[in-house]
């Protein structure tokens, strides 16, 4: 004989929420709530063992889908469900189709795809420019050191020449 854990008490509700999945945001309705879970109805099916985020106003809840059917899913929440918080938040109106940035696939963004050959050429150009700058700096340093060394090497003999050519009092 198996002893199942008794089910938590459920409260029947009808709360519109937004659900964030791996594929983006969808609209759903919470049909019943318990201390650690809820039943969701949505037009798009949610996968079993998928983690989702439920949002209503500022209230957020993260959980895992433990069962699903075509339009209903059971969510087990990580934290206890705050029913008063869910009921107290204002209902968010669903975003019009095409205007919700989060629901659009990432491919619709306006980023320019740079071909690999073009990226390689740009990297080579940057490398050549940096090499030229560092080589120019190194040559300048060596020339400066050579000038200082030559000046110091000729300083003593020039002092002797100046002393010999200077008029004697």
Q: Answer yes or no: do 31 and 62 share one domain.
A: yes
Q: Nearest to residue 75, comparing CAs of 13, 31, 117, 131?
A: 31
Average pLDDT over residues 159-163: 87
Q: Residue 149 above 90 pLDDT?
A: yes
* Of 34 and 97, more confident: 34
The closest alpha carbon to 26, from 37, 14, 38, 18, belongs to 18
**Number of domains the chain contains:** 2
Whether pTM > 0.75 for this model: the answer is no
The yes-or-no verdict on residue 1 having pLDDT over 60 is no
pLDDT of residue 141: 97
The continuous run of DSSP H or E covering 75 comes out as: strand 72-77
Least confident piece of the model among 35-39, 78-82, 86-90, 135-139 = 86-90
Given this model, what pLDDT does residue 39 score? 94
Residue 110 is assigned to a structural domain of this protein: no
Claim to verify: residue 89 and residue 151 sit in the same structural domain:
no
- 126 in the same domain as 91: no
Contact 86, 33 (CB under 8 A): yes
The residue length of the chain stands at: 169
Residue that is written with structure tokens 């190194």 in the block? 138
Q: Look up the domain containing 163 and give its range.
A: 115-169
- C-alpha span between 3 and 85 (Å, rounded): 34
Residue of 9, 10, 13, 8 whose CA lies nearest to 88: 13
pLDDT in tens, 65-108: 999 988 899 999 988 888 787 777 665 555 555 556 566 666 65
Report if residue 77 sits inside a domain. yes
Q: Are residues 30 and 89 in the same domain?
A: yes
Nearest to 68 by CA among 43, 98, 93, 48: 48
| DSSP classification of residue 132 | H
Do 89 and 157 share a structural domain? no
11-18 mean pLDDT: 90
CA dihedral 121, 123, 124, 128 (to 10 degrees): 140
Residues 25 and 93 occupy one common structural domain? yes
Q: Are residues 81 and 122 in the same domain?
A: no
- We report the CATH number of the domain holding residue 29 as 2.40.10.220
> Which residue would you say has higher pLDDT here, 88 or 117?
117
**Average pLDDT, stretch 113-137?**
93
From 66, 97, 128, give the residue that closes a domain: 97
The reply to whether 93 and 15 lie within a common domain is yes
pLDDT the model gives residue 168 = 75
């Amino acid at each position: 004989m198996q002893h199942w854990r008794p089910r938590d008490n459920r409260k029947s509700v009808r709360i519109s929420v937004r659900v964030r999945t791996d594929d983006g945001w969808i609209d759903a309705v919470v049909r019943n709530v318990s201390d650690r879970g809820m039943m969701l109805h949505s037009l798009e099916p949610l996968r079993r063992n998928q983690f989702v985020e439920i949002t209503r106003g500022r209230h957020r809840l993260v959980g895992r889908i433990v069962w699903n059917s075509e339009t209903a899913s059971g969510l087990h929440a990580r934290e206890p469900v705050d029913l008063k918080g869910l009921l107290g938040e204002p209902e968010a109106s669903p975003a019009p189709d095409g205007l919700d940035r989060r629901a659009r696939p990432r491919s619709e963004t306006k980023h320019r795809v740079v071909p690999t050959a073009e990226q390689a050429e740009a990297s080579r150009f940057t490398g050549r420019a940096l090499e030229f700058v560092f080589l120019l700096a190194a040559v300048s340093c060596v020339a400066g050191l050579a000038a200082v060394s030559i000046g110091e090497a000729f300083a003593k003999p020039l002092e002797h020449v100046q002393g010999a050519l200077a008029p004697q009092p």
